[in-house]
Chain A
């Protein structure tokens, strides 16, 4: 009986984090972008600096009519947002905030998170194809090409960390972390961050949703709550990737008073990375499709392979 209660509690905890953290990142994006661009941003909803803007947006999305285009493949069209959103919820369950604060401590959680987030792209592809819209199809094709290219350097970068730690578990990796990793895993960390931003299709890698060219890519035909789910999956993706970066490269809960406040350290480090992801959006213009592919195959993949080789040599010589 107590097992059932514990599983329920853990599931509810993950769901609560899944609902709160993306909103927090979204609000931060509003405010950080506004400050960087010398403007106010949303200021009225809720009173203090427009803190309730995202809640108001949510209410607006719920009220909107849920339209399915007549020519669309209806079942696939309706099912696509769930396929895009749920993988991030599942991935979040496997990310440890501290040795004790983790919903599901799996033996191979690093591979688990990568494998599960790779499923999310199918939602975009389903949406793009089922919409029966040229812009949607173009967006989905761009998304597929981009995610296939950036999946490889990302997996290689994570493999390098796993090799250095001698563990596939995120808890094990963070436990084996030492400050030296900041230097010798730096190329891998950069590759991971760039690939993560590209996987999330955030600027400067937002070719698949380039609004000035193809309206909103695969999500063009969506309205209301289903559209909101796609937006939520983007912010949930930022949360998952930032926390993953914090655990893999920044030592997760290592810090002052890490026995009591470890989870806070992980959240804080993850939040800093989320701010960097937002910063990248403001700082760089969109990359062209050929530049995107060139960056992935000619820069990131060789860099990740070199990092893997370096880590391998280091592990063998120090073992």
Chain B
């Protein structure tokens, strides 16, 4: 039992506990904040396992951007302070979610436990190694993934801008009226 083992157990425990709190709390914003702790602790796991760069990117992208986006979206809704019983799920959904979670756990355990051998030496993964793998061996999956994200982005924009023809005509008219009323100020 080395110091690294203890550290890994600690961040793993924090990850699991905060993840559990994130899905069980009745406070919507608290759930998002527990998600921050959970994703930060996952970055800690990467760090303990020697993947420094992956940990930092996890922190930068997930905690710094994605959760901020989640909180921003929550603020646009009526996320009240205090418990919110409306967001509760039905008993059937809970059972289904439990079964699904147990199934995924069983699948992962079945795949991972047989290949787990004796303890291996921890070795740091340098950023160069990550880059070589990402842009060498795995370059096509990586590029296809980014293409997928781009398609999703453009589709989301198209969906949000899509209007029915008569609605579009109304909007154009409204914009013209507004433009006539207020002098242009975007010089």
Interface-facing stretch out of A30-38, A110-118, A250-258: A110-118
Among B29, B81, B127, the one with the most A-chain Cβ atoms within 10 Å of its Cβ is: B81
Contact B69 A111 (CB under 8 A): no
Proximity string of chain A (36-59) to chain B, C-beta cutoff 8 Å, 1 when within and 0 when not:
000000000000000000000000
B42 to chain A, nearest CB (A): 13
Contact B52 A144 (CB under 8 A): no
Rounded to whole angstroms, the CA-CA distance of A107 and B59 in the bound complex is 16
In-complex Cβ contact of B71 among A107, A112, A119, A144 (8 A): A144
Contact B36 A108 (CB under 8 A): no
Inside 8 A of A103's CB, which chain B residues have their CB?
A: none
Interface-facing stretch out of B17-25, B60-68, B110-118: B60-68
Interface residues of B toward A: which range? 20 to 34
Give the A-B pair count, Cβ closer than 8 A: 83
Rounded to whole angstroms, the CA-CA distance of A198 and B54 in the bound complex is 27
B76 to chain A, nearest CB (A): 7
Proximity string of chain B (45-86) to chain A, C-beta cutoff 8 Å, 1 when within and 0 when not:
000000011001101100111011101101110010110000
Contact B81 A71 (CB under 8 A): yes
Contact A148 B36 (CB under 8 A): no
Rounded to whole angstroms, the CA-CA distance of A290 and B185 in the bound complex is 12
Contact B68 A144 (CB under 8 A): yes
Inside 8 A of B71's CB, which chain A residues have their CB?
A: 122, 125, 129, 144
A176 at the interface (CB under 8 A from B): no
A200 at the interface (CB under 8 A from B): no
Rounded to whole angstroms, the CA-CA distance of A130 and B32 in the bound complex is 13
A147 at the interface (CB under 8 A from B): yes
Quick one: given A108-B56, A108-B127, A111-B57, are A148 and B65 in contact (CB under 8 Å)?
yes
Among A72, A115, A121, A132, the one with the most B-chain Cβ atoms within 10 Å of its Cβ is: A115
Inside 8 A of A137's CB, which chain B residues have their CB?
A: 75
A85 at the interface (CB under 8 A from B): no
Quick one: given A72-B81, A144-B75, are A115 and B69 in contact (CB under 8 Å)?
no
B41 at the interface (CB under 8 A from A): no
